[in-house]
Amino acid sequence: MSRPPLAREKVVDAFEQILIDEGERAATMDATARAAGVSKGGLLYHFATKDALEAAIIDRLHELVAEDVAAMTAAPEGPIAYFLRSSAMENDPLDRAVLATSRLAQGGNAAATDALRGIRDQWADALRSHTKDATALDLVMLVSDGLYFNNALAGGSIPGPVPRGAAMDALVEVVERAVRR
């Protein structure tokens, strides 16, 4: 797959940043052009509508999740450990795409909502054969959700307890013992 032009990526990056920092309502075409350092015409050359920009964010998410699922299934530590450890956000491209898509979903974008449900299903599908039953899979998914949610709280005024180092190792060990086949 060929890389998109740099100007196009700058626009998507700027739109993503506005979504994360200010929300869907602030992520206008004008604000995106300013943040990307391109003219309105330059923006329109790559994205004729805000819907097209939103679709680019969702496409980015799908690409990053496909890479993540491949990494998860090949992880030497195993998919469950990889998935739980990667649920503690690091502000990496996947985290940013999930946050931006979440902002679109919060704004009522049905495609974003469907994409978020779909990626959750992809992760669950990759983990299913490594858990003893549906309840065990639910446990892995819900622990991941909790890690992600608490990590998000850490950025605000409410401190979020996110285990790191030995505490994360212990958590992974407990979950894996509970869910193994």
Show the domains of the chain with their CATH numbers: 6-179 (1.10.357.10)
pLDDT of residue 4: 53
Q: Which amino acid is residue 91, in one-letter code? A: N
By percentage, how much of the chain surpasses pLDDT 70?
A: 92
pLDDT of residue 115: 98
How far, in Å, CA of 106 to CA of 155, rounded? Answer: 19
Q: What is the mean pLDDT of residues 104-131?
A: 96
pLDDT-derived band at 150, boundaries 50, 70, 90 = confident
pLDDT-derived band at 90, boundaries 50, 70, 90 = confident
Average pLDDT, the chain: 91
Q: What is the mean pLDDT of residues 88-97?
A: 88
**11, exposed or middle or buried, with CB in 10 Å at 0-12, 13-18, 19+?**
buried
Lowest-confidence range among 1-5, 46-50, 99-103? 1-5
In the numeric block, the tokens 């979504």 are attached to: 19
How far, in Å, CA of 82 to CA of 163, rounded? Answer: 14
**pLDDT > 90? residue 164:** no
pLDDT-derived band at 153, boundaries 50, 70, 90 = low
How far, in Å, CA of 62 to CA of 159, rounded? Answer: 30
Cα–Cα nearest to 175, from 71, 72, 79: 79
pLDDT of residue 102: 93
Q: Give the pLDDT confidence of 61-77 residue by residue, as tens digits.
A: 999 999 999 999 999 99
How far, in Å, CA of 139 to CA of 145, rounded? Answer: 10
Q: Give Cα 39 distance to the centre of its chain.
A: 29
Q: What share of the chain is helix, strand, coil (3-state, %, to 5)?
A: 75, 0, 25
- Per-residue tokens: 147: 């890690």
How far, in Å, CA of 93 to CA of 63, rounded? Answer: 11
pLDDT of residue 62: 97
Q: Is the dihedral of CA 105, 98, 20, 28 positive or negative?
A: negative
**pLDDT > 90? residue 149:** no
How far, in Å, CA of 72 to CA of 8, rounded? Answer: 29
